[in-house]
Structure 1
């Protein structure tokens, strides 16, 4: 109606236009009034669109959370709980409830539900594009691209054949459905796969990287096929309808991507010159979210779903701080609020009660079973050709069969375009549920069962061959820990006969994200920061360059820098899994405290302390904690004097496996021409032996500690004798024994006769009960470094000496204990069996 026109009185449908003036007029209509829920509510709010939608959203979220709690013990991902909640709220369970259909799912409210679901899908695909990194495609190895290509072709052909069987059984089935089935069976949901691998702590492994890399290529090809299919179907078979979409993709790549890159670069430069940290990023978040909607609108004009525009826009945003900031701000809202309507719509379109109505039971069973297994079989076929182990091939096949939200999106598009009916839609939903339900249990069994833990050989230095390659995992929380660890590695005697492989891991806290990420540093791209670097990225690059300098100074050292981004609560699991995957013998950690300048200590970060404690309790290999108090003064190349100055190291031996591990590391370091080593073994003194012999004056605990550990003492004696025999002619090594009658004499011996060393190496031995250390436990302040380590950093006369505390790998019995295995997830590496032998990162011992 034009402005200023007077509407004529009359009726328009169910509306009665009474009349009006200028731009105002009255419209009357008849509304059927129903009994309200309260005395003052004349109309039930359930008959209105917004309250009805709020109730639907509440129900789907409540059912999803309930099912998450129920299914968590059997390792089911969030997606399974959400799609099951949608099915339970749909006609499958409520088909006979008239009240539920009338008030919860009336026909006139479905449009609002689908509209909100489409908005949720649009923003979800923006997040998927934001998370997707196309860099691995350029570096794909043989295993990854073979699995991806075959995983697209065979399931795609299988989907077409299965749908052809359906059309033979029912001639009126639309022919377009086969294409959507093919895409559904081919796709691997990258976001859901990342979450599953994160929960299983497999992202840092060769298996996880191969699965993620293959999923990137699979998803990219699947989305191209889906976009082309939707454009052609909407154009009624006209292939020229793809052209506008192609033009949009080219505009995104050659126009939007450079503009975003420049904007983010300029934003970073402006922030560097301002003290208002983060202000520019906040200002641009709204612009980015507006761009999501605008790109979605453009692809809708091109004849495809808005989600394609949002996906491309997310893909064009360079990785960096702004992408992380957007993810932190909207991820939980999109996944928790906007996406549940998608699952509810899927549930409304699924009716398992009539799953075989009008079809043969054998056909239904064949379609569901073949659709559920064809991706796994295709992966097994590829891995068999590449001579991979069956266990790893099965795990990879199941991981590549992860469907998740993206598969449901593909099915929705097929159903919206009338590619198939409700029954065949139900078949695919059931297949998707079966596929995704298998992932957690199967991978947990193949790579995390106690059977494989028992087979896993615990790595430590004592069991390693003297001339074998030493594989070290050096963990850092910041660049402040850098110098001490690098100098320790400088002194660790890397030679051609016994090289050192260092996996340098920069540990970064994961904030606001559901999955752990791993960033591998390629030497050819160390300067390509993909936009303005964040503080963590800049520090990560600094650490990587420092370790590369170590490698350049000594060709017997091989360095592999890595940044691990993970929540502090599970960070130790990532470190443990990576240590197992790379057959690491020792993990080196910096001490979480630093001197406060007045003779005491203060925590740098309490979360760092928890990570160290978790690793000490659940380590798959030996651990060394370095308390650096000046070891950096002896770094080489400072001056000619420092080049020739010897480093004095003292190894204090009490008893037990931790002390033997400390002696092994000291023994290795003694091969360095700059190192002089003194081994001091504390043995029971005369008074202690006499007191033990007297039963009437012996503490039962001390008596038990001495005589119930006779086997451990024999191991100590044998190892000490071997050490003395093999080093008897080495002038740089001195061995001595000191009789002591308790912990106080150990302290006095150290402070009086052994107080002028640069580095002390001791065993942790925290839980041991020995008459030699009686009394030390009464004033222990830092249990993470054991009794002797705590003593060394507490003595004022040793304030300039660094301390390395060694703990041998946790016994296998502790690893298999259920209370431990819940927090420490492991699997045995298969990199030597052929599955991931083409990964350049692997350096097998």
Structure 2
């Protein structure tokens, strides 16, 4: 219509079709009619057919886009503390701005969502979908599919077959009760429902796993691998369904789409890879040098062309864009493209998709219409519940058959139920192709919202509960059996840190009876807008991970991995798993702690943050990571001050000397027992000579403690009781060490009675100043009277009083120092066990009643 005055058309529900105007509207009775709107006609001698098309469309588009972005950010702010993904906020934005809520008000519909005012938003939404699918293809890594495990494959098949059957059944069930089919072939709608329930959104799942610190765990890797299979399967089903429906009059209409996909994968992919590799080798080493904005421009042009070709073949333009993104090799170019367009696509071009989707879903009228009988709402709710639980149940059952614990099986089922933008795309395609009516559209939209919203809270709750239970099952060096596997996590910031830690591992006695599993973690600060992650590296292939994803030049990670691989090849009792932790320094300890907990790591080894011979802080952030791990690590932590430990191991090549002299100083406490346990393991390594010195308070020190105490003070009595308990645990462990090491010629044990910290330092200077490595406990939570004088000027509390003294002393400047702290959670478990053995009962919160015999004096005073 193009009149100067409005035209009104009666909405006859008896007439099935009215062709008038350009808009096709479907009412609740499923009859179709059109509506026309007023458009002002101008003189024919003027170029524009309307007064000003820019002034007509642009203000409305700007208002709508601003409104969508404002409501979206508001929901993201509200749902942020609830740890809900962005996708949930986007769906809620569409529902609020649609006829379900604000659309009920006539003024809002007239001013913000008129019929003619949605055209530009729909155009931007379609373009946004095209570029979004390109980004999804660019992010998707198909490498895990080459080495897919049977467990992940079976879980993926369970997530495909079960939901497919249930989706088809639920669709027909809902159609039967609502009696609202708008198509002569309802099988189309059943297929779209099956696709929606089958898919698992890979990008959204990766973000949820990263947020829950599960991305690097076995559970997270299995979920991601299965999600890739589910996503690709759903995508192929969507391509086939759309092509078949569009070419329903000629089955050969599907052939062009298949040829397009095969041409891109078989022909264009190798050619594009060759061009990119040649460009990279020609233009330099940095990201900016390899690829310019011109390269990005041509790639974006390729996205549009690919979308046009696939649309010309009878499919949707997003299929061509997805294929184009999938064939671009991962690396610097993909990173540069993501840096340029990702925020714009997800922040500007994608929100209109949910605005348009919300306008199509009237949840109030379509789910619970007034003219329906009372039993229909019950059916709708039942269908939603069954749709949400289809994938959970099928994945849970198959996981149990694969010997996965019930808790992990349930978490895996919920994770695999994660939906995303692809589900909304399938839903809209189903409605556009008349396979899904208004009622089924609204029902599935609510189901998608519930599926995704429940993932983070439920899995997060179970994950935290599992972590709390698992903390008490972690091993410590003190509790480890002599011939058990030692699982070590080694954190390295740069190549300079690697040599000393490798040398420490070399003397940690890895044997076939007592092997070592080493998880080498390259600690990298997160920069730019990338997401925190853990990147696993293949130890059997050359490492090609590129640091440009973090806006950094490629570091020396290849050399570090090569060093660890060489150590693994030289020792058959060692297995190495290299990975990269990419995170801000403020939260890096969370990723390390979570990984150590999941892998059952016994000790975490970290480098000291200062350079050799430099008293200034090299990197305060590195120091903060160490301090955070000491507070939160679920296992023991060792900080190595490396001063050429590697050189001392090689010795004098002319005399073929391979001796490494290690001294362990024992005072008291759980940290000292843990340090002794590590030194004990080292002593069994050929070439290591261990000297263990236990400093015991002399008579003068005991008299001083007794003189300063007040026996009427409850706090003093509690402290003395706890100290006696600690001394008995120390005596038991030291005596066990002495008994088992009495025939070992490489171990020397002695005790020295001292009266002050100065006597300890003097004894070390005079007798034990020629060692290659000193091992001490940090002494966290205890303050032995013997070293109380060393803590007044502490500058590095993460080393403990004695450790810091050794680092600062001139007579130990040639030697490396290892400071060990036992994990706090493991210590609590150890204390509970010891209380049960010693007959210690808790009284109130601070008082302990001890029922045991007094420990005998060890004598042997030097």
TM-score, normalised with respect to structure 2: 0.85
1:731–1:561 distance in 2 versus 1, CA, 3 Å: same
For the Cα contact (< 8 Å) 1:183–1:226, is it kept in 2? Answer: yes
Work out whether 1:186 is the aligned partner of 2:194. no
Work out whether 1:690 is the aligned partner of 2:703. yes
Secondary structure at the aligned position of 2:622 is classed as helix
Q: 1:525 aligns with which of 525, 541, 563?
A: 541
For the Cα contact (< 8 Å) 1:650–1:760, is it kept in 2? Answer: yes
> Which residue does 1:325 correspond to in 2?
336
> Which residue does 2:182 correspond to in 1?
173
> Which residue does 1:658 correspond to in 2?
671
Runs of 5+ consecutive residues of structure 1 not aligned to the other structure: 1-11, 20-24, 33-44, 816-845
Measured in 1, the distance between the counterparts of 2:168 and 2:425 equals 19
Secondary structure at the aligned position of 1:463 is classed as coil
Measured in 2, the distance between the counterparts of 1:513 and 1:237 equals 48
For the Cα contact (< 8 Å) 1:320–1:531, is it kept in 2? Answer: no
For the Cα contact (< 8 Å) 2:474–2:600, is it kept in 1? Answer: no
Shift of 1:706: 5.2
Cα offsets for 1:488-524 (capped at 9, x unmatched) = 1110111122111112222233334554444333344
Deviates more, 1:391-400 or 1:470-479: 470-479
> Which residue does 1:667 correspond to in 2?
680
> Which residue does 1:565 correspond to in 2?
582
Cα offsets for 1:309-365 (capped at 9, x unmatched) = 221111111111222222233222222222111122222222221113266224312
Shift of 1:225: 1.0
1:738-749 paired onto structure 2 within 5 Å: 738-749=752-763
> Which residue does 2:559 correspond to in 1?
542
Shift of 1:185: 0.6
1:642–1:436 distance in 2 versus 1, CA, 3 Å: farther
Q: 1:314 aligns with which of 316, 322, 325?
A: 325
Secondary structure at the aligned position of 1:248 is classed as helix
Deviates more, 1:543-552 or 1:56-65: 56-65
> Which residue does 2:86 correspond to in 1?
78
Q: Which has the higher contact order (CA 8 A, sep 6+)?
A: 1
Shift of 1:664: 0.3
1:672–1:152 distance in 2 versus 1, CA, 3 Å: same
Shift of 1:758: 0.6
Q: 1:421 aligns with which of 437, 444, 455?
A: 437
> Which residue does 1:725 correspond to in 2?
739
Measured in 2, the distance between the counterparts of 1:295 and 1:31 equals 33
Shift of 1:555: 1.3
Measured in 1, the distance between the counterparts of 2:558 and 2:649 equals 21
> Which residue does 2:765 correspond to in 1?
751
Work out whether 1:224 is the aligned partner of 2:236. yes
Measured in 2, the distance between the counterparts of 1:208 and 1:350 equals 34
Deviates more, 1:223-232 or 1:65-74: 65-74
1:797–1:702 distance in 2 versus 1, CA, 3 Å: farther
Report how many residues are paired.
781
Shift of 1:253: 1.6
1:119–1:512 distance in 2 versus 1, CA, 3 Å: farther
Work out whether 1:295 is the aligned partner of 2:306. yes
> Which residue does 2:14 correspond to in 1?
none
1:455–1:737 distance in 2 versus 1, CA, 3 Å: closer
1:439–1:393 distance in 2 versus 1, CA, 3 Å: same
For the Cα contact (< 8 Å) 1:648–1:676, is it kept in 2? Answer: yes
Q: 2:727 aligns with which of 682, 693, 713?
A: 713
Runs of 5+ consecutive residues of structure 2 not aligned to the other structure: 1-37, 830-862
Shift of 1:694: 1.3
Measured in 2, the distance between the counterparts of 1:770 and 1:704 equals 15
Cα offsets for 1:199-226 (capped at 9, x unmatched) = 0000111100000000011101111111
Q: 1:793 aligns with which of 785, 802, 807?
A: 807
> Which residue does 1:831 correspond to in 2?
none
Measured in 2, the distance between the counterparts of 1:537 and 1:635 equals 31
Cα offsets for 1:564-598 (capped at 9, x unmatched) = 33343332222222212221111111222213x5x
Measured in 1, the distance between the counterparts of 2:330 and 2:94 equals 34
Shift of 1:117: 1.5
Measured in 1, the distance between the counterparts of 2:526 and 2:52 equals 54
> Which residue does 2:689 correspond to in 1?
676
For the Cα contact (< 8 Å) 1:271–1:277, is it kept in 2? Answer: no
> Which residue does 2:823 correspond to in 1?
809
Work out whether 1:375 is the aligned partner of 2:383. no
Secondary structure at the aligned position of 1:173 is classed as coil
Shift of 1:198: 0.4
> Which residue does 1:464 correspond to in 2?
480
Work out whether 1:616 is the aligned partner of 2:630. yes
Secondary structure at the aligned position of 2:595 is classed as helix
Secondary structure at the aligned position of 1:594 is classed as coil
Measured in 2, the distance between the counterparts of 1:552 and 1:480 equals 21
Measured in 1, the distance between the counterparts of 2:546 and 2:489 equals 27
Deviates more, 1:235-244 or 1:316-325: 235-244
For the Cα contact (< 8 Å) 1:60–1:85, is it kept in 2? Answer: yes
Measured in 2, the distance between the counterparts of 1:781 and 1:751 equals 21
> Which residue does 1:735 correspond to in 2?
749
Shift of 1:717: 1.6
1:108-127 paired onto structure 2 within 5 Å: 108-127=116-135
Work out whether 1:551 is the aligned partner of 2:568. yes
For the Cα contact (< 8 Å) 1:327–1:513, is it kept in 2? Answer: no
> Which residue does 1:600 correspond to in 2?
615
Measured in 2, the distance between the counterparts of 1:267 and 1:607 equals 37
For the Cα contact (< 8 Å) 1:691–1:697, is it kept in 2? Answer: no
1:476–1:30 distance in 2 versus 1, CA, 3 Å: closer
1:144-155 paired onto structure 2 within 5 Å: 144-155=152-163
Measured in 2, the distance between the counterparts of 1:629 and 1:483 equals 10
Secondary structure at the aligned position of 2:743 is classed as coil
> Which residue does 1:829 correspond to in 2?
none
Shift of 1:711: 1.3
Shift of 1:277: 5.3
RMSD (Å), alpha carbons:
2.9
Measured in 1, the distance between the counterparts of 2:221 and 2:553 equals 22
> Which residue does 1:773 correspond to in 2?
787
Measured in 2, the distance between the counterparts of 1:131 and 1:211 equals 17
Secondary structure at the aligned position of 1:593 is classed as coil
Deviates more, 1:755-764 or 1:559-568: 559-568
Shift of 1:283: 4.3
1:699–1:334 distance in 2 versus 1, CA, 3 Å: farther
TM-score, normalised with respect to structure 1: 0.87
For the Cα contact (< 8 Å) 1:621–1:809, is it kept in 2? Answer: yes
